[in-house]
Amino acid sequence: MIMVTGGAGFIGANFVLSWLMSPNAEGIVNLDKLTYAGNLANLETLEKDARHTFVHGDIGDKLLVAQLLEEYRPRAIVNFAAESHVDRSIYGPADFIQTNIVGTFNLLECTREYWGNLLGDEKRQFRFHHVSTDEVYGSLSASDHAFRETNPYEPNSPYSASKAASDHLVRAWFHTYGMPVVTTNCSNNYGPYHFPEKLIPLVILNALDGKPLPVYGDGQQIRDWLYVGDHCSAIREVLANGRLGETYNIGGWNEKANLEVVNTICKILDELKPRADKKSYTEQITFVKDRPGHDRRYAIDASKIEKELGWRPAETFDTGIRKTVEWYLDNPTWVKGVVTGSYRDWLDKQYRN
């Protein structure tokens, strides 16, 4: 079996669900702390699937992680567990340091002990896959080439600095201890089960709720959007065939300004769920105060993973965003479950002014 951490969050849950779609898939032990972003409803369809074992716990808990490794003896670990929201890292970086840096350190140390005691093929085949972000490379100007794996690390937010630190730890555990690691640095994901603190699900749900659609600054910041299913297929490919100690950038070749993304969502909603007054949802767009230290542009050059492993995304932005809007319209129960009191408190704190 394999161990997944953070598998009740957005990307982790999509990964677990897509992995187990294959009838011959190895089982998964899924360790997740269930922070505000972890949601067992994402895994509801697996309730009766004996191949999935959920463990409620922290990657920073040494005893627990060591015990799980001994008990389940995974042949690979895929580390999704993290604090992931840039705006929250600006309000309170402590959890980001704790989970993203100290937690990853603990996971690496427990894995080193476990892997060190494996023998023969088990030892040779073992993999530690660290899931990271393009934000570690900092911000691009309009004319810069997209991020390559060789770009220097220049993180600008507490979130990206903590992810950069974790990437460095993973790299060091390869070079110093020979641990069999691979790291992937991915661009902005979107799709089903995305927690609505992030731009795309926030805009979909606010639009349907008749609320303002908050666009930071001038809305011309650029992100490179990737449908979450494509991120999961890339991780499977790197886990199976990636070269040890390497990093692979993953992206959608889909650079879009935020305002364009918001307008596209409004257009799809105008078609699928028109407002009662027949006006466009674009009427709800509201420019708000910019994010401090807001990175202007991210773009991924994903040619290494394509050349070495033959991976390319299957979805375009047009197909992926339509599927995503449809998913939110089709899943009101899931939406109701995540829009809790603590979520409303966050919206109030972040968008009050």
Catalytic residue check, 255: no
Among 20, 42, 76, 85, indicate the residue that binds ligand DAU (CB under 6 A): 85
Q: Which residues neighbour 285 within 8 Å (Cβ) at sequence distance 6 or greater?
A: 212, 213, 215, 259, 262, 263, 266
Given a contact cutoff of 8 angstroms between Cβ atoms, the answer to whether 70 and 76 are in contact is no
Given a contact cutoff of 8 angstroms between Cβ atoms, the answer to whether 255 and 296 are in contact is no
123, containing H or E segment: helix 120-125
Catalytic residue check, 154: no
Decide: is 133 part of the binding site for ligand NAD (CB under 6 A): yes
Decide: is 198 part of the binding site for ligand DAU (CB under 6 A): yes
**Window 13 to 72, contacts with ligand NAD (CB under 6 A):** 31-35, 37-38, 58-60
Decide: is 187 part of the binding site for ligand DAU (CB under 6 A): yes
Catalytic residue check, 298: no
Q: Which does 214 bind (CB under 5 to 8 A by kind): ligand NAD, ligand DAU, none?
A: ligand DAU
Backbone angles phi, psi at 86, to 5 degrees: -55, -45
Decide: is 9 part of the binding site for ligand NAD (CB under 6 A): yes
Choices 117-125, 211-219, 230-238, 241-249; region in contact with ligand DAU by CB under 6 A: 211-219
What is the C-alpha to C-alpha distance for residues 278 and 4, in angstroms, rounded to an integer? 45
Question: Structure tokens of 323?
Answer: 């599927």
Q: Which residues neighbour 140 within 8 Å (Cβ) at sequence distance 6 or greater?
A: 146, 147, 296, 297, 298, 299
286 beta partners = 214
Decide: is 229 part of the binding site for ligand NAD (CB under 6 A): no
Chain residues binding ligand NAD by CB under 6 A are 5-6, 8-12, 31-35, 37-38, 58-60, 80-84, 99, 103, 131-133, 163, 186, 188-189, 195
Residues within the interface to ligand DAU (CB under 6 A)? 84-86, 133-135, 187-188, 198-199, 202, 214-216, 221, 223, 258, 291, 298
Catalytic residues: 134-135, 159
